[in-house]
Amino acid sequence: MAVFGKKYKLCSRKTIETLFQEGKQVRSFPFIVYWKEAVLSEAVPFQLVFSAPKRSFRRAHDRNKIKRLLRETFRNKKEELELTLITQQKQIALFVIYAHKEELSFAELLVQTEKLIKKLSTEIINNTSNATT
């Protein structure tokens, strides 16, 4: 059973600030993700934050629904990312921004989240191999 508890939630303002200042960016429709290798407060491979911009979604309940859907899709598809991070012996912080102007269905978000996680996993592996050479 895939669990996505509170320990996966990134709460540190300092870590979030450094994500935007020093982190790497990955774009995969409909997401923009900032990520950075970090020492996290919990013993988990990654911690993350979701954001839906007020500019695109005026009503709070729309933003909350999108963030709820994103949490659920990440909960379902996180195994590949966790496996990559565990084999690389890394912890990362993620900031996921939903950058599309319209709300996508849950099925579409699942597919796009899977693509994002694959892209992010290869980026982490490539970043590790570049750091060692």
Give φ, ψ of 108 to 5 degrees. Answer: -65, -40
pLDDT at 4: 79
CA distance 53 to 35: 18
Instruction: Show the tokens assigned to 127.
Output: 């970043």
Give pLDDT tens digits along the chain (133 positions).
Answer: 577 789 999 999 999 999 999 999 999 999 999 999 999 888 999 999 999 999 999 999 999 999 999 999 999 999 999 999 999 999 999 999 999 999 999 999 999 999 999 999 999 888 866 665 4
CA distance 30 to 44: 26
CA dihedral sign of residues 55, 57, 59, 64? negative
pLDDT at 52: 95
Instruction: Show the tokens assigned to 66.
Output: 């999108």
User: C-alpha distances in angstroms, 127 versus 27, 76, 90?
Assistant: 16, 25, 12
pLDDT at 50: 96
pTM: 0.88
Point out which residues pair with 124 in neighbouring strands.
Answer: none
